[in-house]
Amino acid sequence: MKRLFQLSLLTLSLLQLETVSAHAVVMDNSLQIAPIHANRAEKVELTFNSQVELGLSQIFLVSKGDRHELLKATKGQQNGRIVVEIPPLAPGDYALRFKIFAADGHLTEDVIHFVVDSTEGEDQAGQEQSPNLDRL
């Protein structure tokens, strides 16, 4: 019986599952105040709540049909900020999908949706950000 108890405790210890959501999250992003204009290269700044290992992280642009394009990202001027370079985009629905390796060793996967509006020179997408910009 004692062996069964010990064995059971050991089994219990070795079998564990954990949620995939992680410690690092995007707290803010520049899309909320500066929307992407059509056919123009832009930069998006993401603000994380934790230090990020940028060399081990990936940020993708996802377009219609869930086509993925790896984007270039650099560290921002302040802690936890990352600047992502967005290529010129045609009007439509897009998403930023990122896999971020935080300094605490956890991997974060998240998605930020945004809309590129056809209206030239107006911050149309920014005005519509509430319904159009959300996270998975």
Catalog residues that contact another protein under the rule CB under 8 A. Answer: 1-2, 4-5, 8-9, 11-25, 27, 49-51, 53, 55-56, 58, 62-66, 79-80, 93-95, 97, 99, 101-107, 111, 113, 134-136
Query: Given the complex with another protein, which of 19 and 121 has the nearer CB atom?
Result: 19
Query: Given the complex with another protein, which of 43 and 106 has the nearer CB atom?
Result: 106
Shortest approach of another protein to residue 124 CB, angstroms?
19
d(CA 79, CA 109): 20
Closest to 44 measured CA to CA, from 117, 113, 93, 121:
113
| Cβ contacts of 11 within 8 Å, gap of 6 or more | none
Query: Given the complex with another protein, which of 12 and 121 has the nearer CB atom?
Result: 12
Backbone angles phi, psi at 114, to 5 degrees: -150, 165
